[in-house]
Amino acid sequence: MTMIRETENGLFSVTLKPCTCSILSLLLEPIGYVWIHGHMPDTIIHWWTARIPLSSSDYLESADIRLLSYDLLMATPDFLRHLDSFDGISLSQFSRRVPDTLTLDRIKGGDETRVLLRNGLICRFYLPHAQEMASFSCVSRERIETLVNQADIKALVC
């Protein structure tokens, strides 16, 4: 019996055994957009050199930085082509582009899921680091049941 849980906010969720971001090639629908929350291109706390924007029109060609973190919005097919670039990840998939003004830190209290649903949320995935347990949530019980009954995914469901 698969352990699909209905969360208090109406999503359907499973916990996955230690895995990598490559599992997303099986979980995500090849539509819409992926919003990666607080992506850190280097999670080790150290200074490293990179080309970075100072504004939307000005760049530093070379700067020492650390703990760089930003949200990243990509079309799902583009994201799937870059899966190998991600170790751990927190993402939400949407049926349509996320509005410019929608940020997770500005949503009050328990309204996060309701707001995300209004904006086309399909699913959410969280993996702290490769080879750790992950969580996957979906707005549709039917979709998550179909997914977790696929052999490649079924083997990973706790």
**What are the pLDDT digits (tens) for 12-68?**
999 999 999 999 999 999 999 999 999 999 889 999 999 999 999 999 999 999 999
Mean pLDDT of 73-97: 96
Identify any residues that bridge with 34 across adjacent strands, giving them in sequence order: 74, 93
Task: Report how far residue 8's alpha carbon sits from residue 120's, in angstroms, rounded to the nearest whole number.
Answer: 19
Mean pLDDT of 83-93: 94
- pLDDT of 1 > 70? The answer is no
- pLDDT of 92 > 60? The answer is yes
* Paired tokens of 114: 């309701």
- Name the residue type at position 85: S
**β-strands 70-75, 33-39 pairing:** antiparallel
Q: What is the pLDDT of residue 119?
A: 97
Query: Residue 140 is part of which domain span?
Result: 5-44+52-154
User: Global pTM?
Assistant: 0.92
Q: What is the pLDDT of residue 2?
A: 61
* Paired tokens of 81: 């082509």
- Name the residue type at position 146: T
Would you say 139 and 9 are in contact if contact means Cβ atoms under 8 Å apart? no
Task: Report how far residue 150's alpha carbon sits from residue 124's, in angstroms, rounded to the nearest whole number.
Answer: 19
Q: How many domains does the chain have?
A: 1
Mind listing the pLDDT tens digit for each residue in 98-136?
Answer: 999 999 888 887 889 999 999 999 999 999 999 999 999
